[in-house]
Structure 1
Amino acid sequence: MNGRQRAVLMGLGVSCAISGICAFSIGAVAIPPSAWSSLLGLGGTHTAQQEAVLFIVRFPRVILALLAGAALAVGGAAMQALFRNPLADPSIIGISSGAGLSAALAITATTPLVTLVGAWAGPVALPVLAFTGALLSASLVFGIARDGRRANVGAMLLAGIGITAIAGALTGLLTYTASNDQLRSITFWLLGSLGGADRNAVIIMCVAVPVPLWMILRSHRQLNALALGEQQARYLGVDAERIKRRVVLATSVMVGATVALCGVIGFIGLVVPHVLRMIGGVDNRFLLPASMLGGALLLCLADTLARTMVAPAEIPIGVITALCGAPVFLALLVRRKRSLVL
């Protein structure tokens, strides 16, 4: 990596730390510096309410935002590298649509299977079904695209579009037949929210995200080679089929867990890699870790805005991510359109 790329990574890391501290401190119950000092044992005072809000409400939410943002952005960067398509994001292999359909089923259906899962999983039935739907959808896309021992990237892309369309249509049908309360739940879930963050959600994300994230980050050389084309990558000694399976599996697990716990949060997987590619170049040694930090930063900021702009109500986080990310993306595009590298 060159000096510019290192500076960007350092800036993103510092920005993540600052945004996390701000997210811990800002809200209906403020956590001033004196309370932080007291909580750290350095003097000052804090109330029991401030301590409860910080550790029970905000700590899980901020950690969930950082992990979810990192998973979505790295998943998007990996999909763009794998498909050699700048419009790719994790939803291209049906993860979001599969999770959305399963969540809509969990909210509206009273079939024996859903009832059985609800009885077994209790309050986590919806995330369990959503995660299962995400993995099944991605597996179906990968299975359709396989031709013997090889998976055709073009076929995977088209299969993803088809599965997404079918799942979207079925979700729309369930939405159309839902009651008012069910419709509100489906709509809010499909727009994304971190309002359900708790200790269990953080534990699940800490189990589901780090290993797949590491698998993708360590694949930067192979993804750089695949950018030249599969045939050229094979000449360079890259096992293209193995790297496809690794990237699709890792992305499915970490993004599936994210969507299951946070709902469908769009835009991060598409725009964050684009913005960082325009700033620091296409080398995945830089792009993947930068996307991890950039996604965490964007989702942390978006969640802080979502829960404070109209407090005590909450804006769906998917709306905020689009409103925050799109203007920055368009501004960079206008400034750099002549030298744009996809």
Structure 2
Amino acid sequence: MTATAQTIATPAVTERRQSGRWLTALLLAPSAVWFFVLLILPLAVVLVYSVGVRAPAGGYQAAFTLDNYLNLPARWAAFKNTLTLAPLGTLICLLAGYPLAYFLAVKSSARWRVMLLILVIVPFWTSFLIRTYAWIFILGGRGIPALLDAMGMGDVRLINTPFSVMCGIVYAYLPLMVFPIYVSLEKLDKRLLEASEDLGAGPFATFRQITLPLSAPGIITGCMLVFILLMGEYLIPQMLGGGKVFFIGNALVDLFLQSLNWPYGSAVAMALVIIMLVTVSLYLRATAATGGRRDASLI
């Protein structure tokens, strides 16, 4: 009797599972089409362009050659600046943003928390271009250098240097690091911190064993947001670097809009995509492995 019931029930269960799969596929279809049209298809076009040649009047001419990829070292300065300043800017944003997020989520009172969060958001109410222009004045000859000169420190040049680009990067992207970490820390159960203190753990041990592991998702999200956006940054190096600190984004603008060398620009863009995919994959794998070992040690 039981075997007969199972035999009858099996086709019904299989049919329900099949209908569930079709429903899932139907719900995912619009997103899949959108993803294909706006991401996969443009990448395929860029890949095709990257193996072509520059037309005599500029643009793209159909061909199949790897010369564009072999010529990537000609833009080594842009790659070097991007691969140096983007990770460094991400690290500085993390070091500056984590204490701020920790203060907002753990130490600040509920009365002032909303006001402090609004102060973090306020820069986004102004145009990104205007905020960058403000840094040109701050770091220019009539800004901080003039103040330092008046203090007897001599003629100090800050604008059009990697330092000025880094200042603009940290200022512009710091909120994007703060908010994901703040969300993770806000969900932190304060009773865990009290229990750690009652068990004799010091502040540093509590932070290392409880706060930091539980806020790791926010750290990973913030680092990915900042790093990915920095890899394609154009405006900050252009305005605060003064043409002396080139990112890959600046090289792409030059190749596509000025040199009209679309195939070479496509090769540079594909190299940037590959670098980002490899870097993000290695970072996520490393953080996942570290998180797994940490969870096992806590258990």
TM-score (norm 2): 0.31
Q: Which has the higher Rg, Structure 1 or Structure 2?
A: 2
Scaled by the length of structure 1, what TM-score is found? 0.29
